[in-house]
Chain A
Amino acid sequence: MSPPSDMRAEIEAAAARYPDRRSAIMPALLIAQRLHGHLPGQVLEEVADILGVERIWVYELATFYTLFHTEPVGRYHLQLCDNVSCMLCGSEALLAHIETVLGIGKGETTADGLFTLSTVECLGACEMAPVMQVGDDYHGALDIARLDALLTRLRAEAGAAAGATEMAGE
């Protein structure tokens, strides 16, 4: 896998913000993960080489922080908060519903690669509990109906994207 051409440039721009290149490992991993979807060993080595830092420094961060994924995740990563405020507002029922509807448990991905399910600690949006993060977006004040509507919309979005790719390929 060759790194996308702009990964090096983006990482260098991040590194310029710090007096020490080691500080740029975290931003570099975020950049790499956005481009690759997750952080396999080869990408970690690439990041270490670009920054000129010890590989172990990169590995230890990739495995310490919860937002870094060394294994592939689905196209939509359903990150349901189950901390106290969300639990008090019904997150358990939402989790059970997702598990039933998608047929996966926590930490698993659907066979079509569309959804990965995780529970996460407080997302810092308790005023709209229960909350789930999917990609960059927060979805708050969820109930079963809103959750179903969201899953339907994400499926349709993925279907439309797949359709567009097929059309482009013809």
Chain B
Amino acid sequence: MFEPVLLKNLDRPDAHRLAAYEATGGYRGLARALKEHTPDEVIGIVKAANLRGRGGAGFPTGMKWGFVPKAPGRPKYLCCNADEGEPGTFKDRIIMERDPHQLIEGMAISAYAIGAATAYVYIRGEYVKAIRTLGAAIGEARDKGYLGQNILGSGFDFEMHIHEGAGAYICGEETAMLDSLEGKRAQPRLKPPFPAVEGLYASPTVVNNVETLACVPHILTRGDDWFRDIGPEKSPGPKLYCLSGQVRKPGLYELPMGISLGELVEEHAGGPLSGRRIKAVIPGGVSAPVIPAEGLGVAMDFDSLAAAGSMLGSAGVIVIDDSTCMVKVATRIIEFFHHESCGKCTPCREGLNWVVKVLRRIEAGRGAPDDLDQLRDLCKGIFGNTFCALGDGAAMGLRAALEHYGDEFAAHIDRQKCPFH
């Protein structure tokens, strides 16, 4: 029987307060890390748990921490990416609004492991409530000695600050976020060097997602084998799934990694709206290629979704029913990517502009017979040729829409109108 940990306190009225967090075992993971383990042992435990990054890429967290050079020298930084801009995703906001001490404790443990004395939480500026709640929680933690000088008598000093973002999806890309933190326009950097070697202020830096860091205290208190035993061996742990769109019970669900997409949508989120059938599901935010209703048996973990031609991404699960035009959905998604393109590289900046124009004319009933070939060519020109993953995500999503719903696109062009209007 799966027991939720990340959302276990959600129904408690004061879950965001320190007292409530401590009452359910909060900060015991930090105490254990500081008193019973060396930093290297903490990295070893997180590696053994096989925690993989919940921001979307699924990179092994312990390995990332292990890349930080051990030698003294430049200060090391920990950054939490809480810019949560992937459409369909809201899990990090809810952690920060409702149970923020999990994140603070996870960051303190992570900072101890990598030898960082300073951390920044980069939160999107729209998240006013999360910024206030996390800010108050940081104050409580500092007053109680979980942050600041000589934490719990261990000699470990650690301070964390909130940095408010100002509206740029590209900050989900870690090096763009680092440039933004340095007071520049958010544009991705060339890699290597990777942030672990040369990140914020050219210092060794770890960038982790909110949910990833929130898992860390539970791994310390319950053990790496507890975590590893949940879900698939190569992609284990509890997972937050964000359900939205045309579904009966949208919301945030904590379930094991590897649950089937169909079970998630039909059983947990209540299935389609009355009188409707599910047509397609986007499983991991709009960067993740769409999965048609026939494919809902796929397991929700990094490897299974990759094998199915999509990705777990941010686990932003968007349900689309049979009343919806897929050309319209595809157009809106590409408009989003075009709007958020940072402008640094040509295939993304210009290519998406072109794709938007073609999609809009198809949806408006003015598509030309060779427009679908045109779109496929544009995808080819963008995919693999952009500076960062933003362009790739856009092209992958459009390719999948053309592959699975090519008939709908063609019908728009043949009839010179949207069949759904």
Contacts and interface: CB of A to CB of B under 8 A. Distances in A.
Interface of A: 17, 19-20, 22-27, 29-30, 53, 57, 60-61, 64-68, 82-85, 87-89, 121-129, 133, 136-138
A30 B318 CA distance: 32
Contacts of B319: 88
B93 A61 contact: no
Contacts of B339: 121
Contact of A85 (B125, B163, B318): B318
Contacts of B181: 23
Nearest to B339: A121
Nearest to A137: B128
B88 A84 contact: yes
B69 interface: no
Contacts of A128: 250
B129 to A, nearest CB: 8
B126 A124 contact: yes
A87 B246 CA distance: 10
A88 B250 contact: no
A123 to B, nearest CB: 6
A20 B93 contact: no
Contacts of A89: 244-246
A158 B86 CA distance: 34
A65 B332 contact: no
Interface string B206-244: 000000000000000000000000000000000000111
A87 B86 CA distance: 15
Interface of B: 84-90, 92-93, 124-129, 161, 163-169, 180-186, 201, 242-246, 250-252, 282, 286, 316, 318-320, 324, 328-329, 332-333, 336, 339-340
A16 to B, nearest CB: 10
B336 A124 contact: no
Nearest to A83: B87
B87 A65 contact: no
A67 B183 contact: no
B174 to A, nearest CB: 16
Given A30-B125, A84-B333, A121-B169, A24 B242 contact: no
B166 A66 contact: yes
Contact of B126 (A22, A67, A84, A126): A67
Contacts of B161: 17
Given A82-B332, A88-B329, 9 more contacts: A57-B183, A60-B184, A61-B166, A83-B286, A83-B336, A122-B88, A125-B90, A127-B242, A133-B126
The listed residue with most B CB atoms (<10 A of its CB), out of A84, A87, A121, is A84
B332 to A, nearest CB: 6
A27 B163 contact: yes
A17 B183 CA distance: 13
Contacts of A26: 163-166, 180, 183
B166 A126 contact: no
B90 A25 contact: no
Contacts of B169: 121
**4 tightest Cβ-Cβ pairs between the two chains A and B:** A66-B167, A126-B244, A65-B166, A22-B183
A69 B128 CA distance: 17
A29 B182 CA distance: 14
B324 A88 contact: yes
B166 A29 contact: yes
Contacts of B245: 84-85, 88-89, 126, 129
B122 to A, nearest CB: 10
9 contacts: A64-B186, A65-B186, A66-B168, A83-B336, A84-B286, A85-B87, A88-B318, A122-B86, A133-B126
A22 B182 contact: yes
Contact of A122 (B87, B164, B184): B87
A86 to B, nearest CB: 9
Contacts of B328: 87
Contacts of B166: 26, 29-30, 61, 65-68
A124 B84 contact: yes
Nearest to B246: A88
A109 B252 CA distance: 35
A49 B350 CA distance: 36
The interface centre, meaning the residue of B161, B183, B184, B340 with most chain A CB atoms within 10 A of its CB, is B183
B167 A61 contact: no
Contacts of A24: 183
Contacts of A27: 163-164
B75 to A, nearest CB: 8
B242 A126 contact: yes
A137 B87 CA distance: 19
A85 B89 CA distance: 10
Given A20-B183, A64-B186, A122-B87, A127 B250 contact: yes
B100 to A, nearest CB: 16
B255 to A, nearest CB: 15
A83 B250 contact: no
Nearest to B160: A17
Given A27-B163, A87-B332, A126-B316, A20 B182 contact: yes
Most buried by A among B89, B126, B180: B126
Given A65-B167, A83-B332, A124-B93, A136 B128 contact: yes
